[in-house]
Amino acid sequence: MKIMEAADYKSMSRQAANIISAQVILNPKSVLGLATGSTPIGVYQQLIDWYRKGDIDFSSVHTFNLDEYCGLSPDHPQSYHYYMHENFFGQVNIPQQNIHIPDGLTSDITSECAAYDKRIVLMGGIDLQLLGLGNTGHIGFNEPNESFDKMTHPVALKDETIAANSRFFGRPEDVPRYAVTMGIKSIMQAKKILLVVSGEGKAEILEKALFGPVLPLVPASILQMHPDVTVVADREALSLIRLHGLI
Ligand code: F6R
């Protein structure tokens, strides 16, 4: 595991965007796994900026998003379809047919999940998976104590995640209770993983994830077992790891 320390959020975003950009330049047909949430917004902004300057071309890239809420239509402002369109896809040249996001509106969730996994396999697997880290240690929507052995599947969100995400919805009761997510097994099958983490609020969970025991209680701890993980985190997020002399 490689840990890159950035001075602040902007620099974290730029460093992570550089890794994605290098991936796409070296292999224009890259299959990217993408995340939503507040952390990667700066990464997407940086990539959009380089795209506008002509430095990067996404026309042959394929993407698979990690997750989506159940029950929100793609035009709901809090759906991950909407987020991705607003923050990235709507501003770069990834062909619509190359974009894959789990369908949270399906009436047959089992078939949707199996079809999603199959599409990833047909594309040759994910070359680079971008991840954020949840306050509970979740990656995607794989909450504490979820099995490490699952591919894409439906999940019930933990109260803590509903509370954390209610900042986007206004009221906790408006946050969907269910979501569909790539599983830990799907994430671990990505060839490379890029984890972005920012802020003091993530310092404790980041230390547990990177240096604690590998346990389903801390889903992100499984990343210690992946052969090619880069963590790009800002100074605040790495503060406890540094304090304890682990880097
Ligand atoms: C989003 C996702 C989540 C977030 C995590 C951190 O697609 O899969 O695991 O990465 O909840 O969210 P932020 O970045 O908002 O702290």
Lowest-pLDDT range, 81-90, 94-103, 168-177, 182-191? 168-177
Question: Which of 39, 63, 84, 206 best tests ligand 1's pocket when mutated (most atoms within 8 Å of CB)?
Answer: 39
Question: Can you give the pLDDT at residue 109?
Answer: 95
Q: Cα of 33 to ligand 1 centre, how many Å?
A: 13
Name the pairing type of β-strands 62-65 and 153-156.
unpaired
Residue nearest atom 12 in ligand 1 by C-alpha distance: 37
Per domain, the residue ranges of the chain are: 2-243
CATH of span 2-243: 3.40.50.1360
Pocket of ligand 1 (CB under 6 A): 35-39, 66-67, 132-134, 138-140
Helix axis angle, 41-52 relative to 9-26, nearest 10°?
50
If one compares 237 and 170, the residue with the highest pLDDT of the two is 237
Residue nearest atom 6 in ligand 1 by C-alpha distance: 134
Q: Cα of 140 to ligand 1 centre, how many Å?
A: 7
Question: Can you give the pLDDT at residue 158?
Answer: 86
pTM, 2 dp: 0.97
Contact 44, 88 (CB under 8 A): yes
